[in-house]
Structure 1
Amino acid sequence: MKKLKVAVIGCGSIAQHRHLIEYNQNPNVELVAVCDIVEERVKEIANEYNVEAYTNYEDVLMLANVDAVSVCLPNYLHAPVSIAALHAGKHVLCEKPMATSREEAEEMIAAAEKNDKKLMIAHNQRFVPSHQKARAIIESGEIGKIHSFRSTFGHGGPEGWSADGKDSWFFRKEEAFIGAMGDLGVHKADLLRYLLGEEFVEVASMIETSAKDFAEVDDNAVCILKSESGIIGTLTASWAYTAKEDNSTIIYGEKAILRLEDDPIYSLIVQYANGEVVKYGLGAIQSNDEGGQTTSHTIDHFVEAVLENKEPLIDGEEGKKSLEIILASLESMKTKKFTRMTV
């Protein structure tokens, strides 16, 4: 099989701990270039992976030997750089959130279609074994009608793992656009859509900056979501979980409760209404904490989609739908009303 030649644009924490490592581990990939505006950083990484170093992404997009790129840049650059890459004939794996507006997301989708290139958004929660098993259980009808849910994603904040610490772009509104809701909440919005198999129609939210006085963006958010069929629940995103990361989801069904990533040993626990309890040890979720899963499977899925000409699980349309939940939550906070969404 022909190897996919890849460049990584943006060499911050997510590139260093996910994209570069996972591309390098994939036998069907040849890393050819890395790009970052911090010259010292990009040269060091280029030496580590024995690839070419660039400080201007436009130079990377001109390379004839690059088939695909990962866009691992600050949020405000996701759309413009992805669009430029697609028009340059490159397949794109873009970090989340895919864009800062619905219009930007639609431009990305249009660019992918026009140039017949793959566009995938890096929502890695869909590849977690416990999440995939839970989706299969839900689809089978085993837990009956779903009544409610609660899902949270929180840790101590980007300053603990970002390449630039407290000086990270994550905290600057002009570059990040949104804080914990864009960093973590969008992951859960995508996961809940995936698990429930339906779209959300109403969103209400409270989004605050309460834990980090130096941040220009939110660090705590709680949203209430209502789905097409009337399932209601909460989504919480936080940069204030200082002691330990929490990436749990609970699904409350008619015949059982599913507890995902809610137990230190068992990644999925099914508690049936008749008293039976089934525990699944399916491996650790990818995490910033010690002992997390070593691969997100996101890169492998993207590579397979490109090489086998298959539509990725999280294409531009899927990424846009998850982004729209975040945009609706911002609108709700602004208006102090429920935001209705079109499905």
Structure 2
Amino acid sequence: MTLLKAAVIGCGSIAKNRHLLEYDANEQVSITAVCDIVQTRAQETADMYGAAAYTDYKELLEKEEIDIVSVCLPNALHAPVSIAALEAGAHVLCEKPMATSSEEAQAMINAAERGDRKLMIGHNQRFVSSHERAYHLIQSGEVGRIYSFRTTFGHGGPEGWSADGKNSWFFEKEKAFIGAMGDLGVHKADLLRYLLGEEFVNVAGFIENNAKTGITVDDNAVCILRTESGIIGTMAASWAYVPQEDNSTIIYAQKATLRLEEDPVHSLVVQYANGDVVKYELGQIQSNDAGGQTNTYVIDHFVDSVVNNKQPLIDGYEGKRSLEVILAALESEEASNVPE
């Protein structure tokens, strides 16, 4: 079996705890090269996986023969580095949010299509067991028509797990573009689109920096969303949920209410209108805290898409649509702050 040669560009927390571990565990992949602007971090990572170390991604792409690339960089670099990797002939898995604008996202899609390469965005919530089970319950019609929802994703903030702690790029608007909404909210926007099977046509965003000092991005946000068929609900993203994170979603439907990741033991609880309650133990959701699901299945899905020439579940178009929900929330917030 010919192994896919993988490169990971950016050796911070998400690369260390997700991408590198999962590539290393995948029998179809060999980690060939890694890159980080912090030379010691790049070298330590390279030594751990027997890979070549680089501090310049352009040099890596020029010198190495790479089949697949993970882009695990600050948000503002997602588009330019992904496009460079695609143009170098690699398939690309880019972390979320995929870009800082619709135009950037489309340029990534165009680059992938020009080179006939796969482009996948790392929205791991679609692969969570409770979310997959809920998706099939909804699609089967068992819970009937959906009326409303509420979802939240919040924790204490990147300083608790980012490679650079309180000095993390997550807190700098120039590098991150957006705070909790880009870090966490975009995950839930993608999940809701997936579960509901519809696009959002109306978005109202309330976005604040009211919990952390010395940062230039949002740390708390709430959105009100409405789909094309009239399903309405709320989505919250926060870096101020202490002492533990909340990653729950509730779907209110005609025949049942689905409670996802709300109960610490039963990751999905279905409360039927006739009084029946079904509780599923499907394992814990992926988490930055100890005890969470260790395999996100994002890497495995990406690799399978490349090996078997299949369209990734979260391709560039899907990533772009989820990004546009967040962009619409930003536009809503900006419009509400225009002086009369």
Q: Which residue of the partner structure matches residue 68 of structure 1? A: 68
Q: Structure 1: where are the runs of 5+ without partners? A: 338-343
Q: CA deviation at 1:72?
A: 0.2
Deviation string, structure 1 residues 199-245 (Cα, Å, up to 9, x no partner): 00000010000110121100000000000100000000000002101
- The DSSP-based 3-state class of the residue aligned with 2:63 is coil
Q: How does 1:174-253 map to 2 (within 5 A)?
A: 174-253=174-253
SS at match of 1:62: helix
Per the TM alignment, residue 64 of structure 1 is displaced from its structure 2 partner at its CA by 4.4
Match in the other structure for 1:330: 330
Aligned residues: percent identity?
Answer: 69
Aligned to 2:34: 34
Structure 2: which 5+ residue stretches go unaligned?
none
Give distance in 2, aligned partners of 1:277 and 1:290: 29
Q: What's the offset of the Cα at 1:65?
A: 2.4
Corresponding letter in the other structure for 1:61: L
Looking at structure 2, the residues matched to 30 and 2 of structure 1 have their Cα atoms a distance apart, in angstroms, of: 10
Q: Distance in 2 between the 1:21 and 1:322 partners?
A: 26
Which amino acid in structure 2 is aligned with residue 251 of structure 1? I
Question: Match for residue 263 of structure 1?
Answer: 263
- CA–CA distance in structure 2, aligned partners of residues 60 and 40 of structure 1: 16
2: distance between equivalents of 1:29 and 1:44?
Answer: 20
**Residue 278 of structure 1 pairs with residue 282 of structure 2:** no
1:340 aligned partner: none
Q: Secondary structure of the residue that 2:288 maps to in structure 1?
A: coil
* Structure 1 residue 2 displacement after superposition: 2.2
Partner Cα separation in structure 1 for residue 296 and residue 336 of structure 2: 37
CA distance in 2, matches of 1:14, 1:259: 27
- How far 1:147 moved relative to its partner? 0.5
Query: Which letter maps to 2:26?
Result: N
Question: Equivalent residue for 2:4?
Answer: 4
What TM-score comes out, normalization by structure 1 length?
Answer: 0.97
| Aligned twin of 1:310 | 310
Residue in 2 aligned with 1:103?
103
Displacement over 3 Å in runs of 4+: none
**Deviation per CA, 1:291-330, whole angstroms, max 9, x where unpaired?**
1001100000000000111000000000000000000000
DSSP 3-state at the match of 2:2: coil
Q: CA deviation at 1:16?
A: 0.3
Q: Deviations over 1:26-55 (max 9, x none)?
A: 011000000000001111111111111000
Question: Which amino acid in structure 2 is aligned with residue 125 of structure 1?
Answer: Q
TM-score, normalization: structure 2? 0.98
What SS does the aligned partner of 2:225 have? strand
Question: 1:70-95 CA distances to partner (integer Å, 9 max, x unpaired)?
Answer: 00000000000000111111100000
User: Residue type matched to 1:196 in 2?
Assistant: L
The one-letter code sitting in structure 1 at the alignment partner of 2:181 is M
